[in-house]
Each structure stands twice: as structure tokens, then as C-alpha cells.
Amino acid sequence: MKILMINKFLHPNGGSETYIFRLGDYLKSMGHEVEYFGMEHEGRCVGNRAGAYTADMDFHGSGKLTKLTYPFRIIYSTEARKKIREVLDAFCPDVCHINNFNYQLTPSILLEIVRWRKQTGHFCRIIFTAHDYQLVCPNHMMNNPNTGENCEKCLGGHYLNCLRGRCIHGSAARSAIGMTEAVYWKIRKTYRYFDRIICCSAFLKGMFDTDPLFRGKTVAMHNFVEKKATGGVEKKDYVLYFGRYSEEKGIGTLLDVCKELPDIPFVFAGKGPLEESVNGLTNIRNVGFQSGADLAKLIREARFSIYPSEWYENCPFSVMESQMYGTPVLGARIGGIPELIRDGVNGELFASGNAEELGEKIRRLWENRVLLEKYTEACSGDDFDSVEDYYKKLVPIYEGTDSGA
């Protein structure tokens, strides 16, 4: 098969880019042809034979005139339609696998794919992997940044609530643009052209299924992982948190708990707006942002890790990564997190935002080494799909022979 992988960023930028690069490489190894379409960028590391990409859109460093045109360009892009047509004509894909596209590429690319199919008579499947809530929530997080509260008001297409809550960066202007973008494409029913929508958690699938346009097209498939060898590591005496230091990640609640457990040593690895508060506690060792082998070592040697998120996480890789390295997770019961932890088998769950329950469970796990060792032994990457496993599920979706949602 010929697969056109579509994503606004074609350089290492986040989870969706890791997904498309690794998946694309594996597809190639299995004999498929893979090309990519998205924005041009100095760090672009994948491409297409037509050499066609949209111009890089920098929302922060551009001039005043360019910024004035953004409200129009991020809703509908004639440039994106023109460029993707060049790629479609040159590559003639059997599958267009769309990932993150809103604002920079815009849904107008869908219109061009459909137009190309009709004009050429070459049918190609249109698959969408949803990495966030963008198509049901204009600020993509289902969380109001002004109040910190999780919010489902826009579900069902009630996008005026985005403007009412100033949900995009706390700005009325940006929220109005986000609302307009969502309403415009809802009226056009453009997303009906997706043949299948891959959701990275059952929770995310449930949010998409609130829209009749998506219901019946969604399928839940957790992201794939690189399998790691577990065991044979001497655990050290600390509890680990690794990730962003921010309120939606539950750091405020976790810090309150740490204050009440002064005899338990914690290691925090990350950065973010609450770093000063993290540094203010004597039983927390802040090692800053870590990656690669250094982060792997921290995870492997921890007694257990904590994932205290307070927003609707989809499929947090940190939870999977911890277990892959043989470290149990104490995770918040919210979003897609419970789908990744076998409660009472290889970790435990607590009510998100409940400091009392979190503190009690940290204390119990810290003091009950027999129980913790049982959880540690049950941790492995076998609970999650490898890219090979994921591929076996994906090919029927590409071919249109899967059993459906």
C-alpha cells in the first residue's frame, strides 16, 4: 500500500510526531510506501516526492500584517489545498492517514482529498488518529485554563461555550477564532469524510461518540510502545514524579501531600510554572527535566511512581513507560489513566484531586514492601502493544476490513 502520513509538524515536536515517525518506519519495513505532508520547517526530517509543504506558521514571532491574516488562514487554507493536491497527484496514495492538522493545515485538506478522489477515480481511505480532543473541544483539552476545571460544555457541538469561558489561552479573541473554526467545519460536516477515527483511549472514544457524526466510526487503540527489559535493578528509596510541574497535572495536590509525609523522600523530574513550589519542600529532590538514559535510570530505580493528573489525560506515555521499566504506578482515576493500570495487580488508582486518599496510598505502598514487590513483579510492557502488534490492528483499518467501531 501507499500511505500518505499527514501531520502539521514534520519535525520532532511531541507525541504525535513520535507516533508518525515510528509508525512510518515500521510500515516501510513491512514493504509499504510512506510519504509525509505537513509544514515546511528547518528541522523537517521526512517528506514527499513532490517536495510540497505549506509554509511554517509561527504564531508568536511573526509580523503584525501576517498575524492579521491568521484568523482566516487557520480556519481555511487555500495553500494547504494546493500543496496537498501536488502530493496526491505525484504519490497517488491508497490511504491518507491524518494526525494533527487543525489551525496550521486546516480541515480544508479533507475537501481536497475528497475532490481528488472524485476527479481521478482513485479511491483512498481517509483515516484519522485523534491525539487529543480538538474535534470536540476547541481548546483541545476539555479543561478551562481560567478556572482549572474540566469542562464538557462544548460536547455535542455547543462551541459558543468556548467563547463564553475564554477557553483558549484566556483570550476572548483567540477563543472567538477557535469557536468560529469549530462551528464553520461543523456546519459543512467536513469530518464525515473520515472512514475511521482511531482514538488512543476508550475515554477519548467516548468523548468523540457524543457526536453523531463520529459515532460508529471510532475505534479505541492505545498507542504502541517500545518494549523494555524489566527486572534485575536494585530499587532505591524514593518515590518518583516525572512530568510537567503544573496544576492540571495535579502537582498542587501532590505537593500538599508531600508536606504531610516529611519522612518519605520524593524525586521530581521535570519543569514548569510550579517549580518554585517544588523546590520549597525539603523531602523533594528536584532533578529538573530528564530524558533518555538518565530518565530511564530514575524510573527503574524508583520504588513506585505517581501520576496525579487532574485533567482528562488520554493515553499518557509516562504511565506506560514507568511500568515498562518495572516500576508500579499510583495513578489518578481520571481520563484514560485507569485503562493503563491494573488496579491491585501492577499498581493502584486514587480519586483524582483527593489529597487524603493519595496520602494514604503513598504511605501504605511505602511501608508495605511485600505488596510493592508484588506490583513490581507484575509490571512489564506486555500490557501494551508493540508497534508490531499495533500494525496488525492497523492494516485491516487501512484496508477497510476491520470489524468496525
C-alpha distances out from residue 388 to 29, 147, 161, 220, 385, Å:
11, 42, 41, 17, 8
DSSP state of 304: E
Identify whether residues 128 and 93 lie together within a single domain: yes
Q: Does 65 score more than 90 pLDDT? A: no
Q: Does 178 score more than 80 pLDDT? A: yes
Which residues have CB under 8 Å from 131's CB, separation 6+? 15, 16, 19, 99, 100, 200, 314
H/E run at residue 117: helix 108-120
What rounded mean pLDDT belongs to the chain? 93
- pTM for this entry: 0.91
Write the single-letter amino acid at 370. V
| All cell numbers assigned to 303 | 520504588
Q: CB 100: neighbour CB atoms within 10 A?
A: 25
* 25 inside domain: yes
Q: What is the pLDDT of residue 57?
A: 78
Identify whether residues 35 and 177 lie together within a single domain: yes
Q: CB 240: neighbour CB atoms within 10 A?
A: 23
Q: Does 360 score more than 60 pLDDT? A: yes
Q: CB 56: neighbour CB atoms within 10 A?
A: 18
Partners of 150 in the beta sheet?
143
| All cell numbers assigned to 240 | 518518583
**Distance in angstroms (rounded) separating the CA atoms of residues 341 and 379:** 10
Identify whether residues 201 and 253 lie together within a single domain: no
| All cell numbers assigned to 160 | 459558543
Q: Does 374 score more than 80 pLDDT? A: yes
pLDDT in tens, 295-340: 999 999 999 999 999 999 999 999 999 999 999 999 999 999 999 9
* Number of domains, the chain: 2
pLDDT in tens, 114-154: 999 999 999 999 999 999 999 999 999 999 999 989 999 99
**Cell numbers 520524593 label which residue?**
266
**Distance in angstroms (rounded) separating the CA atoms of residues 53 and 59:** 18
pLDDT in tens, 255-297: 999 999 999 999 999 999 999 999 999 999 999 999 899 999 9
* 230 inside domain: no
Binning pLDDT at 50, 70 and 90, where does residue 230 land? low
- Average pLDDT of the segment spanning 352-371: 97
Q: What angle do CA 384, 306, 233 make, to 5 degrees?
A: 70
Q: Report the Cα 286 to chain-centroid distance in Å.
A: 25
* 139 inside domain: yes
**Structural domain harbouring 54:** 2-225+386-399
* 232 inside domain: no
Binning pLDDT at 50, 70 and 90, where does residue 231 land? low
* 66 inside domain: yes
C-alpha distances out from residue 199 to 86, 133, 181, 395, Å:
29, 10, 22, 16
Q: What is the pLDDT of residue 74?
A: 84
Q: Report the Cα 95 to chain-centroid distance in Å.
A: 22
Question: Taking Cα atoms as reference points, which of 276, 268, 277 lies closest to residue 244?
Answer: 268
**Distance in angstroms (rounded) separating the CA atoms of residues 193 and 101:** 15
Identify whether residues 154 and 243 lie together within a single domain: no
What CATH code is carried by the domain that includes residue 84? Answer: 3.40.50.2000
Partners of 286 in the beta sheet?
268
Identify whether residues 293 and 200 lie together within a single domain: no
Q: What is the pLDDT of residue 381?
A: 76
- Average pLDDT of the segment spanning 184-201: 96
Identify whether residues 124 and 272 lie together within a single domain: no
The percentage of residues in the chain with a pLDDT greater than 90, rounded to a whole number, is: 87
| All cell numbers assigned to 143 | 479543561
Identify whether residues 166 and 268 lie together within a single domain: no
